[in-house]
Amino acid sequence: MQEYQRKQLLERVGRDGSTVGAQIPDAIEIQGEELDLRTFVFEIKRRETIPPGERERVEQAKRNLRRERVERLEAIEDNAVSYERGEELAESIIGIDRALNALDQLEPVDLEAETKRKEAADQKRWTTFLKKALGHEDSNKRNRR
């Protein structure tokens, strides 16, 4: 594969909107096992939230999909495949990304925990700002030495 072809494939895979309109593959081979990916995603997505009994199965599938994505991307990055195989890998990576996006959207949002996290981050930024503005940050550094 030519260098410019490899760069085009990597750019296509890394593009922000690459999953828009992309199809989730019917099936995908992950670590030697065939997974009916489209069926799996639609089965889980139909429920709108991940049932507690299915959570570990979904998390394991997401970990496996991410691992497979990295392996396929590395094959393109390392220029270890032909251009034709690189195109197949790029398409499958985009399909994996589409499936991961669909599965990630099912995560329940804990609004209370998210609010607390944001408030804590705001408090930390405010404290850091005040220390800098009042010159306390410099004195703390001198006292540590």
Q: Where are the domains of the chain?
A: 3-104, 111-144
What pLDDT, on the 0 to 100 scale, is given for residue 70? Answer: 93
Token representation of residue 81: 């495949």
The answer to whether the CB of 37 falls within 8 A of the CB of 28 is yes
- Closest among 44, 22, 28, 43 to 107, alpha carbons compared: 44
More confident residue, 54 or 4: 4
Q: Average pLDDT in the 3-32 region?
A: 85
Q: Where are the alpha helices (DSSP H) in 15-110?
A: 37-45, 55-77, 83-104
Per-residue model confidence (pLDDT) at position 138: 55
109 three-class SS: coil
Place of tokens 């669909």: 102
Mean pLDDT of 36-58: 79
**pLDDT over 70 (residue 141):** no
Q: Residues 64, 68, 74, 75: what is their CA dihedral angle, to the nearest 10 degrees?
A: 160
Specify the pLDDT at position 113: 63
Q: How far apart are CA 6 and CA 53, in angstroms?
A: 42
Give whole-number Cα distances, 67 to 10, 97, 105, in Å: 17, 12, 19
Count of C-beta atoms within a 10 Å radius of residue 41: 22
